[in-house]
Amino acid sequence: MNVAVVTSAHDFRRACQEARVDGELALVPTMGSLHAGHESLIKAAAQWAPTVAVTIFVNPSQFGPGEDLASYPRERAGDLRKCEESGATFVFAPETPAEMYPPGFQTWVEPGPLARPLCGERRPGHFRGVCTIVAKLFALSRADAAFFGEKDYQQLLVIQRMALDLNFGIEVIGRPTVREADGLAISSRNSYLNREERQRATALWKALQAARRKFAEGERDPASLEEVARQSLEAEGVRIDYAEVRDPVDLERPSRADATSRLFLAAFVGKTRLIDNGELGAPR
Ligand code: PAF
């Protein structure tokens, strides 16, 4: 294994400082359990900058009570191999939560209205935890760019806004969702699904496609498009958390959908909560 690993915030800061002397630095923050989606982010980062830092940290502050913090998959050896194969230069993998939240920690980054609907409403405090950890990683690395997946589209917008509002001077770049052959958005949480659930998990993709078909037929009423998605999800036997058409920039509900409007979906397949989203006008 050639990829260098640092485990302390101090060493991460120093490694980033040294890397920036040689040119630009790109950052790929992750919670580990890396999959093809992360690999595509690391590869895109490696095209963008000569040095790529990947961070692997299961961030406790973005999990709510009763969520899957304890069971979140942790696969360090496989993760490091994937980092190396995808072009990472070094990895920051704190060994304990205290490395990022030492005793006495008390300062949080509170996001604004972009963090309120959708996952913000369903998972109170989630984006506060995300913003706080990402702000810390931005401050430590002082990277030139950071890469995030569009599967977590709301997260991407919230982080882009935070980077602007707090003057990080980091370009926050979103990359397309990577999907399995049957359309399921690749996610670390897919590993929770048993065989039968894995088959049903395509429900989100099918609902997105159903709404896109309806949009292509001329439907522009957000509520009607949402209803099509809801019916499709229900037909697949998954429990809907939300199915909402939103504006791609401010996440407000449009009075009339256009091709750039996005459908946002969250649904429980068994006990596993999955999310997905996509443009209504995207080719099917
Ligand atoms: O998307 C994720 O994996 C996490 O929310 C992130 C951005 C790494 C922060 O912990």
Q: Are strands 145-149 and 171-175 parallel, antiparallel or unpaired?
A: parallel
CB of 134 closer than 6 A to ligand 1?
yes
Read off the pLDDT of residues 151-182 as tens digits, 9 standing for 90 and up: 999 999 999 999 999 999 999 999 999 999 99
CA–CA gap between residue 228 and residue 215 (Å, rounded)? 10
Using H for helix, E for strand and C for coil, what is the string for 134-160? HHHHHHHHCCCEEEEEHHHHHHHHHHH
Is 126 annotated in the active site? no
Ligand 1 atom at minimal distance to the Cα of residue 149:
1
Read off the pLDDT of residues 250-284 as tens digits, 9 standing for 90 and up: 999 999 999 999 999 999 999 999 999 999 999 87
Expressed in angstroms and rounded, the spacing between residue 34 Cα and the centre of ligand 1 is 12
Residue with tokens 């065989």: 195
pTM above 0.75, yes or no: yes
Distances (CA, A) of 155 to 30, 120, 172, 179: 13, 9, 11, 18
Q: Which domains does the chain have, with CATH numbers?
A: 4-175 (3.40.50.620), 188-279 (3.30.1300.10)
Token pair of 237, please?
A: 């036997």
CB of 135 closer than 6 A to ligand 1?
no
Nearest alpha-carbon partner for 132 in 97, 86, 95, 92: 97
Expressed in angstroms and rounded, the spacing between residue 230 Cα and the centre of ligand 1 is 28
Expressed in angstroms and rounded, the spacing between residue 146 Cα and the centre of ligand 1 is 12
Token pair of 32, please?
A: 């580990």
